[in-house]
A and B are shown apart, each in its own frame.
Chain A
Amino acid sequence: MNNKKPIIEVRNLSRIYGEGCSLCGKNTGPEYETNVCPECGTVTALKSISFDLYPGEILGIVGESGSGKSTLLQCLYFDQNPVSGEAYLSEYEEGKYNLLNLPKSKKRYIRNHLMGMVYQNPVQGLRLNITAGANVAEKLLDADVYHFQNIRNRIKELLERTEIPLLYMDTLPRKLSGGMQQRIQIAKALANNPPVLFLDEVTSGLDVSVQARVLDLIKLLQDESNISIIVVSHDMGVIRLLTDRTLVLKNGHLIEGGVTDQILEDPQHAYTQLLVHSTL
């Protein structure tokens, strides 16, 4: 796999919340068990994260709450602005430009045409005051599809695929169950056939049978298309089932990364050992 050119290259991505001071870097991190600087109270959510995502690969990101998993995805999806770092997407202008420095309009283009995102909380990813179909339509309209019947057909196709009864197509998402909302989010994320998909805790909060179906769907997607996926989860079961490689985050630092089986069977870092052994 490593002889292929990565689809996403991330280099030294950092994100802090707060003013920051000269001691932030020295006083935070896994060694100190915190990402809050005792001097100035600044939160170092991500500290110099670098990794590659390869075409057709599912990459897992694990870590405890507050370790920076969601922040990482949101930085890559342009929801948040990192303080420094670089990210290259091979599908956009052959990866010549650092995505994080592009103007807003270009970022929007990339987001709408080349990326899909499923948020942990459907409220973030969906508009609850427009119908389920319209939520999916929005992504298509963002990607410049202006043919009503084609939009309708595509929505039907996606709802069938995500096992949402077509009868809910013109229903407001707030009237649907959490699992259903999550699947509408997936349908929306897949609407424009993005080469890259970000999944943030896609199965948490769903009951086990729905979880299994959502995981099946993701597996199926990967088999059918050459889509590259980043899966963020704190559930080691999901990571084991879905991912090829895994990164472990702790207190905003990347502490370990490698083939999923190896991470799970032979964790090197003390925290990873704890994480793997505490799941049952």
Chain B
Amino acid sequence: MLKNLLPEKIDHRYNFAFIDEGAKREIRRSLLKAVAIPGHQVPFASRELPIARGWGTGGLQITMSVIGPADVLKVIDQGCDGSVNAVNLRKFLVKTTGVKTTFDSSAASIIQSRHRIPEVNLREDQICVLQVPLPEPLRMVEPREVETRRMHAEQNYSRMWVYIYEDIVQNGLISLAAGYPVRVNRHYIMNPSPIPKWDIGKLNNSENLTLLGAGREKRVYAVPPYTEVEPMEFDDYPFTKEDFSGLCCSRCGSTDVFLDEIYNESSGEKYYVCSDSGFCDQTIKQKEGQDE
């Protein structure tokens, strides 16, 4: 049955999705626990892979352990389908699974992403896998793992609040940008991976399951569907997203999307394009369809 579904380009010297079935089961068990305790970091035995730890191995192992032959895969790196990290991981996954891939976020069943969540809202039948470099949000205020675990267990987060307090005192605003700490299900404080503040709102009460993996730090955690995710904020210093008002994408013309600033060195000109390349392409395609 499995063989019939697989295309021929798959490399049969390896197990389906590279890692062995025992390893997959172990990671799935950790993921089940992670889903059961939203935002809680669950240890797992990070496997040796043909890419170095710290280059997306956490996300990769999650994808490998949940992917099946019928899945449709999308891999992105900072919103882009075509950058090095995305291309390498996609090729590796295709070679060992033979699954179909897509650039269209709404057509994918599994989206592995580095540091962005797609612009379009994901659905219940989709899984978003995020690669995480440093899973512990309290690490910047407390270097000891024993202590940070105790702080999580007791919800003792005042030192994280003090960090934000001092940030405002020193900078006049909250200077935390990528990986803004969030409170999941009114309990654990979680590092949402270095996604921009723009994407934080997409985690809140999202329809899809979000799985986060840190291969080097050997931790997985999850935000189940319809879970409350709130950024840490003072009552009088509310959380704000990046401001792109008055700007639009120079390719597709979209406003209200996360934009990358591009600087043309020879002309000294600045222009903006969608960070989510798949979304940008889709928008252009739709507009062309309307024109015809």
Q: From B169, which residue of chain A is reached at the shortest CB distance? A: A170
Within 8 A of B (CB), among A89-140: 104-105, 108, 130-131, 133-134, 137-138
Q: Give every chain B residue within 8 A of A146 (Cβ-Cβ).
A: 161, 234-235
Within 8 A of A (CB), among B136-171: 154-156, 158-159, 161-162, 165-166, 168-170
Given contacts A146-B235, A148-B237, is CB(A141)–CB(B165) below 8 Å? yes
Q: From B174, which residue of chain A is reached at the shortest CB distance? A: A148
User: Which of B155, B161, B236 lies in contact with A141, CB distance below 8 A?
Assistant: B161
Beta-carbon contact of B156 and A147 below 8 Å: no
Cα A186 to Cα B161 in complex, Å, equals 21
Beta-carbon contact of B235 and A138 below 8 Å: no
Q: Give every chain B residue within 8 A of A142 (Cβ-Cβ).
A: 158
Beta-carbon contact of B162 and A138 below 8 Å: yes
User: Which of A141, A150, A170 lies in contact with B162, CB distance below 8 A?
Assistant: A141
Beta-carbon contact of A105 and B236 below 8 Å: no
Cα A138 to Cα B141 in complex, Å, equals 13
Asked whether any CB of chain B lies closer than 8 Å to the CB of A149, the reply is yes
The A/B interface has a contact count, at CB < 8 Å, of: 43
Asked whether any CB of chain B lies closer than 8 Å to the CB of A151, the reply is yes
Q: Give every chain A residue within 8 A of B162 (Cβ-Cβ).
A: 130, 134, 137-138, 141
Q: From B166, which residue of chain A is reached at the shortest CB distance? A: A134
Beta-carbon contact of A108 and B154 below 8 Å: yes
On chain A, the number of residues with a Cβ less than 8 Å from chain B's Cβ atoms is 18
- Output the least CB separation between B170 and chain A (Å): 8
Beta-carbon contact of B165 and A151 below 8 Å: yes
Beta-carbon contact of A148 and B154 below 8 Å: no
Interface of chain B, main secondary structure: helix
Q: Give every chain A residue within 8 A of B234 (Cβ-Cβ).
A: 146-148
Within 8 A of A (CB), among B96-146: none
Cα A151 to Cα B236 in complex, Å, equals 11
Q: Give every chain A residue within 8 A of B158 (Cβ-Cβ).
A: 138, 141-142
Beta-carbon contact of B169 and A133 below 8 Å: yes
A 161-194 to B, binary, CB cutoff 8 A, 1 in contact else 0: 0000000001000000000000000000000000
User: Which of A104, A108, A147 lies in contact with B236, CB distance below 8 A?
Assistant: A147
Q: Give every chain A residue within 8 A of B159 (Cβ-Cβ).
A: 138
B 220-249 to A, binary, CB cutoff 8 A, 1 in contact else 0: 000000000000001111000000000000
Q: Give every chain A residue within 8 A of B166 (Cβ-Cβ).
A: 130-131, 134
Indicate the member of B161, B166, B235, B237 with the most A CB atoms within 10 Å: B161
Q: From A142, which residue of chain B is reached at the shortest CB distance? A: B158
- Output the least CB separation between A149 and chain B (Å): 5
Cα A170 to Cα B169 in complex, Å, equals 8
- Output the least CB separation between A101 and chain B (Å): 17
**What 10 A-B pairs come out closest when comparing CB atoms?**
A141-B161, A148-B234, A147-B235, A141-B158, A142-B158, A138-B162, A137-B165, A134-B162, A134-B166, A148-B237
Given contacts A148-B165, A149-B236, 9 further A-B contacts (CB under 8 A): A104-B154, A131-B166, A133-B169, A137-B161, A137-B162, A138-B162, A146-B235, A148-B235, A170-B169
